[in-house]
A and B are shown apart, each in its own frame.
Chain A
Amino acid sequence: GQQVMQIPQYQHVQEGEDFTTYCNSSTTLSNIQWYKQRPGGHPVFLIQLVKSGEVKKQKRLTFQFGEAKKNSSLHITATQTTDVGTYFCAGPYSGAGSYQLTFGKGTKLSVIP
């Protein structure tokens, strides 16, 4: 079945350092979505990428969708303690007309003040 893999599983950074998490799908995706889950919270939608090679920015966050639409990355510049949480990528199941999302295991970010 479809698999979505994320690396690294954990990342500890000093406040002010940059952070990147990578996402790879076993199948081509029609779109990829990124979510953030704070400790004790629920996943919160960050962004959706649809086009091959697409790059989107949200303040200090930069999201990329690979040319083959099978991989994606999230880069945070100059991390802050508010960035703490687990970042998940998710892609729609490849079945026709499906709306279910397949999530990666996430990258848990810790920021040391």
Chain B
Amino acid sequence: DTGVSQNPRHKITKRGQNVTFRCDPISEHNRLYWYRQTLGQGPEFLTYFQNEAQLEKSRLLSDRFSAERPKGSFSTLEIQRTEQGDSAMYLCASSSGDTQYFGPGTRLTVL
């Protein structure tokens, strides 16, 4: 069990650019989640996959955000036309039951 991995760990971009993050879940986990965390807050749910199907999406999620999990293994989260308000830690988690195991996160800074 190598745990959940995320790449890159840090990303600095200019406003208006597109960014893509990758998450590799624990191999036997069929569920994958994306969360966003800002300073002083708890993780905020963005979206959830069961295998390759995206089953839930937060109403807070702008249409600039899109996520995929094409083969039910790794997932990507893309943010188009980034804004300064998108600066946050983007966390991925995976599970096979109720317990969610988090990756180290990708810290995004939008200048």
Contact = CB atoms under 8 A, between A and B. Distances in A.
Interface of A: 4, 31, 33, 35, 41-45, 48, 88, 90, 92-93, 98-106
A42 B105 contact: yes
Contacts of B103: 42
Contact of A100 (B48, B99, B101): B48
B102 A33 contact: no
B91 A42 contact: yes
A100 B95 CA distance: 11
A47 B91 CA distance: 19
Q: How many of chain B's residues touch chain A, expressed as a range?
A: 20 to 34
A100 B50 CA distance: 12
Contact of A104 (B42, B99, B100, B104): B42
Given A42-B105, A45-B101, A48-B98, A101 B45 contact: yes
A51 B40 CA distance: 30
